[in-house]
Amino acid sequence: MRPHYMMASAGLALAVGVWAVGWQRVAAQTGAPGPVARYAMDVGTVSGIGGMGGGMGAGMSMMFGGGGGNVQHELNLRLGSSRGPDKGGPKADHFMPPAARLGKSVALETPVPTQGEMGDEQFQRPKGRLLIYWGCGPNAGKGQPVIIDFSRLAKGQVPPGLFSTSIPKDRGPSMANSRTFGRWPARDGKYVKGDSSVLGDHRIVANYAPDISFSLSQDFMAPLNARSHALPDGATSLGWTGISGATGYYAFVMAMKMGQRGDMGDMVWWSSSATQQFGGGLTDWLSPATVTRLIGQKAVMPPTQTSCTVPAEVKASGPDMMMGMLYAYGPQADFSYPPKPANPRAPWHLEWTSTVRYRSMQSWLITSPGGMMGAGAPQGDEREERAPPKKKKGGLFGGVLGGVIP
> What's the pLDDT tens digit per position in 283-295?
888 999 999 999 9
Q: Is the pLDDT of residue 375 over 50?
A: no
Q: State the alpha helices, DSSP H only, in 198-237.
A: none
**Model confidence pLDDT, tens digit, residues 233-278:** 999 999 999 999 999 999 999 999 887 776 667 889 999 999 888 7
Q: Is the pLDDT of residue 178 over 90?
A: yes
Q: Is the pLDDT of residue 393 over 50?
A: no
Looking at residue 221, the DSSP 8-state letter turns out to be P
- For 152-171, what is the mean pLDDT? 62
Hey, which bits of 7-128 come out as E strands? 37-48, 63-64, 71-81, 92-95, 106-107
Overall pTM > 0.75: yes
61 compared with 343, residue with greater pLDDT: 343
25 compared with 77, residue with greater pLDDT: 77
What is the DSSP track for 258-275? E-TTSSEEEEEEEESSSS
User: Which candidate, 261, 215, 218, 237, places its Cα nearest to that of 96?
Assistant: 215
CA distance 314 to 263: 19
Q: Is the pLDDT of residue 24 over 70?
A: no
Q: What is the mean pLDDT of the chain?
A: 78
- For 77-99, what is the mean pLDDT? 96
**Model confidence pLDDT, tens digit, residues 165-174:** 566 666 789 9
Q: Is the pLDDT of residue 380 over 50?
A: no
- For 92-100, what is the mean pLDDT? 97
* Confidence band, pLDDT 50/70/90 cuts, at residue 9: very low
Q: Is the pLDDT of residue 164 over 90?
A: no
* Confidence band, pLDDT 50/70/90 cuts, at residue 282: confident
Domain extents in the chain = 3-336+353-375+389-401
What's the pLDDT score for residue 21? 29
**Model confidence pLDDT, tens digit, residues 200-223:** 999 999 999 999 999 999 999 999
Looking at residue 176, the DSSP 8-state letter turns out to be T
Q: Is the pLDDT of residue 67 over 80?
A: no
Q: Is the pLDDT of residue 394 over 80?
A: no
**Model confidence pLDDT, tens digit, residues 181-197:** 999 999 888 999 989 99
293 compared with 148, residue with greater pLDDT: 293
In angstroms, the first-to-last Cα distance of the chain is 26
Exposed / middle / buried, residue 261 (Cβ in 10 Å: 0-12, 13-18, 19+): exposed
What's the pLDDT score for residue 147? 87
**Model confidence pLDDT, tens digit, residues 114-143:** 655 444 444 455 567 889 999 999 999 999
* Confidence band, pLDDT 50/70/90 cuts, at residue 49: confident
What's the pLDDT score for residue 271? 93
Residues 273, 295 contacting (CB under 8 angstroms): no
Q: State the alpha helices, DSSP H only, in 310-380.
A: 312-317
What's the pLDDT score for residue 120? 42
Using only the alpha carbons of the chain, give its radius of gyration.
21
Q: Which residues contact 363 (CB under 8 A, 6 or more apart)?
A: 8, 11, 47, 48, 49, 50, 54, 56, 323, 324, 325, 326
